Amino acid sequence: MISFSLTEEQQMLIDAVHRYAERELRKSMRDADETGQLPADLIASGWELGLTPSSIPETYGGFGEHSAVTGALYAEELAWGDLSAAMNLLAPNLLVIPLLEYGTDSQKESLLPQFCDMAFVPATAALLEPHITFDPHNLRTTAEKQGDHYVLNGQKVYVPLAADATHILVYANEGDSTQAFIVEKDTAGLTIGEREKNMGIKALPTYKVSLENCTIPAENKLGGEAGINFTRLLSYSYVALGAMAVGVAKASYEYAKEYAKEREAFGEPIASRQAIAFMLAEMAIDIDAARLMVWEAAWKLDRGEDATAETALVKKFTDEMVMTVTDGGVQVLGGHGYIREHPVELWFRNGRGFATFTGMAMV
Amino acid sequence: MIDFSLSDRIKQQNVQMQMVAEGLMRPVSREMDEKEHDKPWDFINATWQFTSAQTARMLKKLDQQQSGETTAKKEKGPSEYYMSLVYMIEWLSWGDAGIYLCLPMSALAGSAIEAVGTPEQKKRFLSRFAEGEPKWGGMAITEPHAGSDTSAIRTTARLDPETNEWVLNGEKIFVTSGLMAAEKSDGILVVWATVDPSAGRRGIKSFVVEANTPGMKVTKVEHKLGIRASDTAAIVFEDCRIPYDNILGDPEVKTTEKTKGFKGAMKTFDASRPLVAASALGVGRAALEFTKDALKKEGIEIRYTAPRHKLTAIEQDVMEMEAQYKAAWLLTLRAAWMMDQKLPNNLEASMAKAKAGKAVTFVTQKAVELLGTLGYSRDWLVEKWMRDAKINDIFEGTGQINHLIVARRILGYNRTQLK
């Protein structure tokens, strides 16, 4: 029957993640954005929360099972803390989740255990391409079978942690279907470009990645000959990004609300004026609605059901919601919101990115 | 745990409600809208069977609680009372929102009595809804000059100490099912009146007036934009006398602002707001489904995996309709779930109603727009759904009031801090 309550385990988990987000991520957020660097130990201590291993079954060294609902819960809290750190910490999911869903036994056995260790191992995926008519179902990066190998050609952008990643899961067009290919660090034909300069997520290292006749063993095609259901993997990405959008939006809304109660104009707090109060009310309503939409889509995925339509709607709704809310956040703070001291302008810059970040997060 | 699956009970109820909607409501939808003040008697007589049975069950439970009996069969698991109501109302409104409002039941009068009435009052006023012929209940609050500002009502209730009766004087408007409740059935009205005009909201109480009480007269039945099957009445009270025991709650005018009577009655809106949202969303779903079907017949299907630059304008419009609809629907489910869990849901109920009113106004207006000459024609029901939908952003708390309530709750502000 319909229920909106969390399990005890889920509640404990998000309480722990929230503490980490509040005490560590928020503290370093502004400096990290200015310098482009997250503090050295930030990711290490985040890794101790055991988020990625909680999706991995015991057979492979983990302690849980893949749950998009649980992932949505922790992704929201992390993003509420700081989006750059959240995407950094969860980057390994970009390889782990596809492996869990579609990996062959041999692929799972060889690659999953390393993500159950004490130390953070950087891994990532490359999906986005540098053209404005990007279509994840019609990629320009190609994969051609040649004997016992696949040869990959193309340009990828916005690849988190590519320079340090032990493995990059490269999405490419094989016979008009998007498939995924495991490319090890230092493979010939794989070139990691310069670190990109983005409007937001400035503390998250992202890179251009070029593939020029990059040749990999055929066994590195994810899922072997059967391949993957890419539409379904995209659904897991839309859930993650939707949850993160909710987190970022919530951060902005809460901050603006507190500011509006303190800031006085014409003899009373600006929160006493309907123009401001109604902006905040609309934010609150759409944030809550977005969260429920993410949960419904994630719940369907966890039941093995198709959530293509639901996640498309999640993406549409949350992309717009997070921009409207983070824009509102700056607006409520007025001139002060425009300065790189209050966090609202940072959330505004991060907020715009969601419309583009397809494939950069997964739960 | 988070769960969106329907219980077997709700699934079964849905099947029944769909049958009622398709069999008894849709076939007479256009006729009821055009004729405006005929009643859908087939629907009324059929649904009276189950609304009266439901009331009978409620009263039986009340009896058992009073006599200290434990119920023979303990209800298994948590309550789904409000969730079932949401689904029922959604389906019936999908059928026809105006005809849904013709459901013979105690409605808001019943919820007010259930919220603040004594056991004796519940029996005296509600037993009739468990037996005999179809009956209606209604709530009379709004006056020509006072809608959102309920504390400004001027209808008075003066106590006559000699006869121990309240004497009501005033004028009420916009009473849903007012004609049926006041005159055409053995029904009841709950009427809000002030026992002390100088005391503002502290003087406002609610009173039960039984049908055909002398001094109560329906002066007008409105001609409306939509929900035309529902009788919306103006009612005048001229020295209308009712027994002392017809007052709901405490007759005392308290010295503090915190009055149980007023607040208790306002609390019934926390329960009813998600239900009004559900009604709105039924109409919204009708329009959305119809639009998608009509487009499909023209070879236009929504491609959820198409990239932005390939989506046609109409696909984007339909996805926007679906997203707004879904946002409102999930908020409504949450508000209903909280009622069933007995969690305070004043904020969530208002969020649901605020969003639903807005979303459904958008969805139904978009539907007529997208369907062009056929959407605009009275040959199809879409234009009627747009007219029916509009009321949901107005009655039982306008969208503006609901946004105001949400704003006050999130800010922790009272009426003076945020107007």
CATH value at residue B115: 1.10.540.10
State residue B72's pLDDT score: 53
CA distance B18 to chain A (A): 20
B419 in a structural domain: no
On whether the CB atoms of residues A231 and A171 are closer than 8 A, the answer is no
Task: From the options 1.20.140.10, 3.40.50.720, 3.40.50.1110, 3.20.10.10, give the CATH code of A230-353.
Answer: 1.20.140.10
Same domain, yes or no: B63 and B110: yes
**Which of the listed residues B130, B151, B183 is the one where a domain comes to its end?**
B130
For B330, which of A257, A278, A289 is closest by C-beta distance?
A: A289
Same domain, yes or no: B312 and B180: no
For B4, which of A132, A296, A312 is closest by C-beta distance?
A: A296
Same domain, yes or no: B265 and B243: no
Beta strands (DSSP E) in B141-272 are 156-160, 165-176, 188-194, 204-210, 216-221, 232-243, 247-248
Say if the Cβ atoms of B337 and A316 lie within 8 Å.
Answer: no
Say if the Cβ atoms of A2 and B307 lie within 8 Å.
Answer: no
- Residues of chain B with C-beta less than 8 angstroms from the C-beta of A269: 417
Same domain, yes or no: B291 and B205: no
In angstroms, rounded to a whole number, what is the distance separating the alpha carbons of residues A225 and A232? 18
Say if the Cβ atoms of B331 and A289 lie within 8 Å.
Answer: yes
Task: Tell me which amino acid residue A41 is.
Answer: D
**B178: which 2 tokens?**
């007012």
State residue B255's pLDDT score: 63
**B92: which 2 tokens?**
């019936």
User: pLDDT per position in chain B (419 positions), as tens?
Assistant: 999 999 999 999 999 999 999 999 999 999 999 998 799 999 999 999 999 999 999 899 888 887 876 555 555 667 899 999 999 999 999 999 999 999 999 999 998 998 889 999 999 999 999 999 999 999 999 999 999 999 999 999 999 999 999 999 999 999 999 999 999 999 999 999 999 999 988 899 999 999 999 999 999 999 999 999 999 999 999 999 999 999 998 888 776 555 566 666 677 778 899 999 999 999 999 999 999 999 999 999 999 999 999 999 999 999 999 999 999 999 999 999 999 999 999 999 999 999 999 999 999 999 999 999 999 999 999 999 999 999 999 999 999 999 999 999 999 999 999 99
- A-facing residues of B in 45-84 (CB < 8 A) are 77-78, 80, 83
B3 in a structural domain: no
State residue A226's pLDDT score: 96
The answer, for B1 touching chain A at a CB cutoff of 8 Å, is yes
B177 in a structural domain: yes
Say if the Cβ atoms of A281 and B413 lie within 8 Å.
Answer: no
Q: Least CA distance to A276: which residue of chain B?
A: B407
B253 in a structural domain: no
State residue B62's pLDDT score: 85
On whether the CB atoms of residues B327 and A314 are closer than 8 A, the answer is no
CA distance A340 to chain B (A): 26
- A-facing residues of B in 303-332 (CB < 8 A) are 304-307, 309-310, 319-320, 322-323, 326-328, 330-331
State residue B271's pLDDT score: 84
Strand partners, A168: A124, A183
Say if the Cβ atoms of B5 and A2 lie within 8 Å.
Answer: yes
Say if the Cβ atoms of B6 and A1 lie within 8 Å.
Answer: yes
Judged by phi (left if over 0) then psi (alpha if -120 to 50, else beta), residue A168 lies in: beta
CA angle B360, B366, B367 (to 5 degrees): 90
On whether the CB atoms of residues B315 and A143 are closer than 8 A, the answer is no
Alpha helices in chain A (DSSP H): 8-20, 26-35, 40-47, 68-81, 83-89, 93-102, 105-111, 230-262, 274-302, 308-337, 344-353
The answer, for B334 touching chain A at a CB cutoff of 8 Å, is yes
Same domain, yes or no: B157 and B124: no
Q: Least CA distance to A300: which residue of chain B?
A: B4
On whether the CB atoms of residues A239 and A363 are closer than 8 A, the answer is yes
Strand partners, A215: A151
The answer, for B2 touching chain A at a CB cutoff of 8 Å, is yes
- A-facing residues of B in 139-168 (CB < 8 A) are none
Element (H, E) at A363: none
**Which of the listed residues B108, B130, B152 is the one where a domain comes to its end?**
B130
Number of domains composing chain B: 3
For B410, which of A3, A231, A257 is closest by C-beta distance?
A: A257
Same domain, yes or no: B399 and B267: yes
Same domain, yes or no: B286 and B407: yes
Same domain, yes or no: B28 and B81: yes
Same domain, yes or no: B77 and B217: no
**3-class secondary-structure state, position A48:** coil
State residue A313's pLDDT score: 98
In angstroms, rounded to a whole number, what is the distance separating the alpha carbons of residues B307 and B417? 47
How many other CB atoms are there within 10 angstroms of residue B244's CB atom? 13
In angstroms, rounded to a whole number, what is the distance separating the alpha carbons of residues A55 and A64? 5
Task: Give the domain CATH number at B194.
Answer: 2.40.110.10
In angstroms, rounded to a whole number, what is the distance separating the alpha carbons of residues A148 and A207? 29
State residue B252's pLDDT score: 81
How many other CB atoms are there within 10 angstroms of residue B311's CB atom? 17
Asked about B396 being catalytic, the answer comes back as yes
**3-class secondary-structure state, position A149:** strand
State residue B70's pLDDT score: 59
- Residues of chain A with C-beta less than 8 angstroms from the C-beta of B4: 2, 295-296, 299-300
For B403, which of A5, A281, A300 is closest by C-beta distance?
A: A281
CA distance A285 to chain B (A): 6
B111 in a structural domain: yes
Label residue A187 exposed, middle or buried (CB < 10 Å: 0-12, 13-18, 19+): middle
**A303: which 2 tokens?**
């039941």
Domain boundaries, chain A: 8-116, 124-226, 230-353
Q: Parallel, antiparallel, or unpaired: how do β-strands B232-243 and B247-248 relate? A: unpaired
CA distances from B87 to A185, A288, B21, B334 (A): 54, 21, 12, 13
Residue range of the domain that includes B284: 260-411
**Which of the listed residues B193, B214, B248 is the one where a domain comes to its end?**
B248
Say if the Cβ atoms of B326 and A293 lie within 8 Å.
Answer: yes
State residue B78's pLDDT score: 79
Instruction: Please determine, looking at this structure, whether the domain spanning A124-226 carries the CATH number 1.10.357.10.
Output: no
Say if the Cβ atoms of A295 and B83 lie within 8 Å.
Answer: no
Same domain, yes or no: B112 and B173: no
How many other CB atoms are there within 10 angstroms of residue B54's CB atom? 14
CA B278 and chain centroid, separation: 9
User: pLDDT per position in chain A (363 positions), as tens?
Assistant: 999 999 999 999 999 999 999 999 999 999 999 999 999 899 999 999 999 999 999 999 999 999 999 999 999 999 999 999 999 999 999 999 999 999 999 999 999 999 999 999 999 999 999 999 999 999 999 999 999 999 999 999 999 999 999 999 999 999 999 999 999 999 999 999 999 999 999 999 999 999 999 999 999 999 999 999 999 999 999 999 999 999 999 999 999 999 999 999 999 999 999 999 999 999 999 999 999 999 999 999 999 999 999 999 999 999 999 999 999 999 999 999 999 999 999 999 999 999 999 999 999
**B238: which 2 tokens?**
């001229």
> Can you give the pTM of this predicted structure?
0.95
On whether the CB atoms of residues B240 and B216 are closer than 8 A, the answer is yes
B375 in a structural domain: yes
In angstroms, rounded to a whole number, what is the distance separating the alpha carbons of residues B394 and B391? 5
Say if the Cβ atoms of A2 and B4 lie within 8 Å.
Answer: yes
CA distance B413 to chain A (A): 8
CA distance A202 to chain B (A): 26
State residue B250's pLDDT score: 80
For B1, which of A7, A136, A309 is closest by C-beta distance?
A: A7
Half-sphere exposure of B288 (CA within 13 A, CB side): 24
On whether the CB atoms of residues B353 and B270 are closer than 8 A, the answer is no
B416 in a structural domain: no
B417 in a structural domain: no
Say if the Cβ atoms of B354 and A6 lie within 8 Å.
Answer: no
Query: What is the second-level CATH architecture of the domain A8-116?
Result: Orthogonal Bundle (1.10)
Same domain, yes or no: B157 and B94: no
CA distance A300 to chain B (A): 9
The answer, for B10 touching chain A at a CB cutoff of 8 Å, is yes
